[in-house]
Amino acid sequence: MNEEVARARPHSPSGWGTRPHSGDNIPAQTRKRAFVALANCAVLLFLLCASRALAQPANTVTGAGLRAPVPIRAAPGELTTIFVEGVGAGLSKPIVATSVPLPTELGGITVELRQTEPPQGPIMVPLLAVFPVYTCLKADEPGCGRLTGINLQMPFEMIPIHTFGPIVFSNSARLVVSENGVPGAAQWIT
């Protein structure tokens, strides 16, 4: 702002229009630091927004109903399906068991039962099928997530949690899903 413009503006109690530049009282080094900090914030904001725009969604809906999908509620010998994230990336179609007794490995995927009551395991879980599950109607939709469905039979060796009067059997049973021998997180069973 030049001096003529400053003189043409009316004087106010706040001093507006009386100084040619409001930053003239700030040392040059301080202004330079403020500019660098502002530029760094702008770059950081740009990178944050760009990474969010390019990244996959960080969450996935894994169930619906009147109760949470976990812990898994199952009985010994029960046929059930679990849905797992992070395994089965190579599955393009279902792999179905074709023999009896049921296999304990399909497509490199295995499931183990581990529990605190004997037999503690690991007990290999019989598998009926493994299959990809997409969270969209079409697998190639942007932002579409993927789960792997695993049809299995709970081992008859599983000790369910029972209450007989004052006696409570407190077995801690859990399933561990592995892919190519690499175990994932445990999922509790009640």
Q: Render 121-161 in DSSP notation, one character per residue.
A: S-EEPPEEEEEEEESSSSTTSTT--EEEEEEEE--TT----
Last residue of a domain, one of 38, 54, 70: 54
**How many whole angstroms separate alpha carbon 103 and alpha carbon 71?**
25
Q: How far apart are CA 168 and CA 98, in angstroms?
A: 40
Tens of pLDDT, residue by residue, the chain (190 residues): 555 544 544 554 554 444 455 555 666 666 666 555 555 545 444 444 444 444 444 555 556 666 667 778 888 899 999 988 888 888 989 999 999 999 999 999 999 999 888 888 899 999 999 999 888 877 677 777 888 999 999 999 988 766 556 666 677 888 999 999 888 878 877 7
What gap in Å lies between CA 88 and CA 146, rounded to an integer?
9
SS3 40: helix
Q: What is the pLDDT of residue 64?
A: 67
- Asked, for residue 20, whether it belongs to a domain, the answer is yes
Are residues 99 and 164 part of one domain?
yes
Alpha-carbon distance 152 to 126, whole Å?
6
The number of domains in the chain is 2
What phi and psi values does residue 12 have, to the nearest 5 degrees? -125, 160
0.85 exceeded by pTM: no
**Which domain, by its residues, includes 87?**
79-189
Q: Is residue 49 part of a domain?
A: yes
Query: In angstroms, rounded to a whole number, what is the distance separating the alpha carbons of residues 18 and 3?
Result: 9
